[in-house]
Amino acid sequence: MVGADRHKVLIRGLEPGSAYLAYLFAKSGDRVVVQTSKPGDVYFYDLPPPNLFMRERFLRDLLLVELVESANPDEYDVVVDSCDVELDGLLELYGGNEVVYVEGDPWLSATLSLSRGLPAPDPVELPVERTNEFKRIRIEVRKYEGAPYSLCRAVDGISGKPYEPTRTLERVYLAADVFKEIKGLGARPRALKLEYAVGRDVFFMGMGMEAVGKISRVTTGGITAWVYGEAGRLRYIMLKSDRRYFESALRLYNALRFDEYFYLYDLGAGRGALNVASLGHLTRHMRRSRRHAENIKTP
């Protein structure tokens, strides 16, 4: 645990999560060095239109963060891994009119299509209009590995399986988690795979890695929730709603990271879609467990 003293922090990779982590450490008085092969301004590149998140000049001149091409991890008190992302070609895609499939990232592919009113490529498995006419591109990502903390690798808190966080917002949340843990500000919440596709007037969001178990589908309050459950526990959630509710969905995502029974509190003005869909899995399991207990004959 770092504590209150000034320490040397090395963050390897520059993207929204690592930029936010550098900001947090610098504001707390630590000396921060970011190792990156792609210095430049940092964008939320998978939210349309791509939004500038933090300027390189702000990191360098105001926060006094040093950006270097190479560094020796042994010279630092704290080392955190992140990744460099090739953004030039991706940012240009939002201004085009072609259907594009980003290899290995169907949710980003859906965002590119939905944000421009185009059908999604066939490999995108979302309930949207799709087409078999599209071009393929690949986004180069350099992941740094070997440090005790990472923003580009995680273990899903529901399935227990390792994965690579691809959404920019999830890496920002992981940055806050890492900062809390290192500074001794409380236990880290569990990681939870986050996916989203955001269009002009609609968004889809996935929470968790695998759509397994029994499904409940509920539409209420303008939100449709597909909730998969097994043995009384949630296994996967997908939401669809108007884009103006996107931030509310992110709050639900973070609630699930802190409490697997968060849906008990999803009430709003009435019972929310997640409350209705998720509670069905829990009560169904409880009823079965009670019937099973009643059928056991005691000696």
pLDDT at residue 44 tops 90: yes
Q: Strand pairing partners for 121?
A: 131
pLDDT at residue 191 tops 50: yes
Range of lowest pLDDT (118-127, 205-214, 254-263) = 254-263
250 three-class SS = helix
Residues 160-179 have pLDDT tens digits of 999 999 999 999 999 999 99
In this prediction, residue 270 has a pLDDT band, given cuts at 50, 70 and 90, of very low
> Could you give the CA distance from residue 29 to residue 27 in angstroms, rounded to a whole number?
5
Q: Which residues lie below 8 Å from residue 112, measured CB to CB, with a gap of 6+? A: 48, 93, 94, 100, 102, 118
Arithmetic mean of pLDDT, 252-261: 91
Q: What is the pLDDT of residue 134?
A: 97
pLDDT at residue 248 tops 60: yes
Residue type, 146: G
Domains of the chain: 8-84+140-183 (3.50.50.60), 89-137 (no CATH), 211-295 (no CATH)
116 three-class SS = coil
103 three-class SS = coil
Arithmetic mean of pLDDT, 62-72: 97
In this prediction, residue 233 has a pLDDT band, given cuts at 50, 70 and 90, of confident
Q: Is the dihedral of CA 163, 11, 58, 67 positive or negative?
A: negative
pLDDT at residue 122 tops 90: yes
pLDDT at residue 268 tops 80: no
Q: What is the pLDDT of residue 132?
A: 96
